[in-house]
Amino acid sequence: MIGHFGLGFYSASMVAKQVEIFTLSHQPGAKAVHWTCDGSPEYTIEEIDSKTERGTNIVLHIADDSEEFLEKARIDTLLSKYCKFLPVEIKFGTKKDFVDKGEKDDKGEPKKTEVEIDNIINNPTPAWTKKPTELKDEDYKSFYHELYPSVFEEPLFHIHLNVDYPFNLTGILYFPKLTNKFETPKDKIQLYCNQVFVTDSVENIVPDFLTLLRGVIDSPDIPLNVSRSYLQADASVKKISSHITKKVADKLEELFKKDRADFESKWDDIKIFVEYGILSDEKFFEKASKFALLKNTDGKYFTLDEYKDHVNTLQTDKDKKVVYLYSNNAVDQHSFIAAAKERNYDVLLMEGPLASHYINFLESKIENTSFVRVDSNTVDKLIDKEENTVSKLNEDEKKQLQPVIEAVVPKERFTVMFENMSEKDVPMVITQSEFMRRMKEMSAMGGGGGMNFYGNLPEMYNLVVNSNHPLVSKILAEKDATKQSELAKQAADLALLSQGLLKGDELTKFIKRSVSLIN
């Protein structure tokens, strides 16, 4: 009941040392009344003759410690925030304007006359109060910039909400261009109740992933004076939340079916939103599985079903599991991608802060599949097909060479191992366990639970030696211990360099050594 009487008086006396009300009813024969109060339980009320027009005037005598509310800029800010879309016009003083009164100047041109007009600071009929049939794309874009004057880029597309049963809900949601950074947007969804601004903290009213959008939600059915925990349990809020999720998914599916090429052109801008929705809402995933896209390193897009069909033949391992190779950085992992493509493998581009969580989720949903990062193993081991390559080095030669290689890399971070690769492959390559690396990435993104354990572990790598490469045989055959170590170090540093792991003093030494070897 406090929303019907009392709260307005209370808020007025927070900034005023005295409040006066002059009011006259519309009823015939009514007498005007003057009410005054200084914030105490006592007040005075009397009939007056000075007010002759129906309506109410409220006069605040601002307290000494609240004089900021007498400043035009402060009042303007408050009116703009809370009253921007009130359903009645709000006049805040006057402003100058120029009107054509039909007069001509000395040259016979129409003469503009300066006049004082009411300064109406609000829009009583915002776009969300109108029917979608009454609006054009330009109207939606214009309203977007009315909501967010400091945003200059255009939204990608919009969703108009208009429901009157079993709850009342209107609004417009916009898809902005989203970066790969996972951060709280500055320009949030605004919640209104009958066109009165309530808050832009809607986290407990709409699903978390929808807070990445912008726009307006207006509903009188959302309780405004309760705790967050109550909001999460409120039946109306749950229904509203589910409806908005369904409308967003339906809109995305519609755009995908209507113009796939246009949808693909926008995918990189909305990808993080869709991934977040899939991870956090099972019902959203059920619909999103039809339009969620995977992008490969050649820039081609596939739905989840399309991609499995695309790689099924060449990328099925000995256990009949389809292996999805992926890269999270096409530039840094270029050599690994190139090696995979030489085998006619396809490589996905799975980048962004949610990539590890999203990959884990897809593995659990797509039967008989596994995701393997393209630099997690040698190219022959990425997809295990039991194709054995004969080694040019026997076991004794490998044991003889092992300590030489181990001496040129830190033992606490690298494990040296030999693989029977093609002699056309690189002499040495750095790989990292798919499982350990993914667990660490998920921990960094707030995986929680047992993942914190993985996040505290140091980075560990494998230095894989190609036992069939001529340079490895040359290192083994070198009789001079110093030259042997130098060759081993050079080959290992090349592997480190390809993974961006050669830095600082070690990089400087590598450059000097390379110059001396060339000379």
Q: Domains in the chain, start-ordered, CATH in brackets?
A: 7-70 (3.30.565.10), 127-264 (3.30.230.80), 292-387 (3.40.50.11260), 391-432+459-519 (1.20.120.790)
Return the exposure string of 491-505: e unless at least 16 CB atoms fall within 10 Å of the residue's CB, then b.
bbbbbbebbebbeee
When the pLDDT of each residue in the chain is averaged and rounded to a whole number, the result is 87
- Higher pLDDT pick, 11 / 184: 11
Q: Is the pLDDT of residue 124 over 80?
A: yes
What pLDDT does 3 receive?
52
CA 458/CA 446 separation, integer angstroms = 17
Task: List, in sequence order, the alpha helices (H) in 16-97.
Answer: 72-82
Residue 193 has φ and ψ, to the nearest 5°, of: -125, 110
* Cross-strand partners of 372: 325
User: What is the pLDDT averaged over residues 460-466?
Assistant: 90
pTM tops 0.85, yes or no: no
pLDDT band at 516 (very low <50, low <70, confident <90, very high): confident
Q: Is the pLDDT of residue 226 over 70?
A: no
- Higher pLDDT pick, 113 / 464: 464
C-beta separation of 44 from 36 below 8 A: yes
Tokens 């619909």 — which residue?
287
What is the percentage of the chain residues whose pLDDT exceeds 90?
56
- Higher pLDDT pick, 128 / 425: 128
- DSSP assignment, residue 141? H
CA 383/CA 324 separation, integer angstroms = 9
Tokens 């354990």 — which residue?
453
Residues found in the chain: 519
- Residue 47 has which token pair? 């009939």
- Residue 122 has which token pair? 């609000």
pLDDT band at 1 (very low <50, low <70, confident <90, very high): very low
What pLDDT does 322 receive?
94
Q: Is the pLDDT of residue 214 over 50?
A: yes
| C-alpha distance from residue 439 to each of 279, 330, 361, 434, 516 (Å) | 16, 21, 13, 9, 42
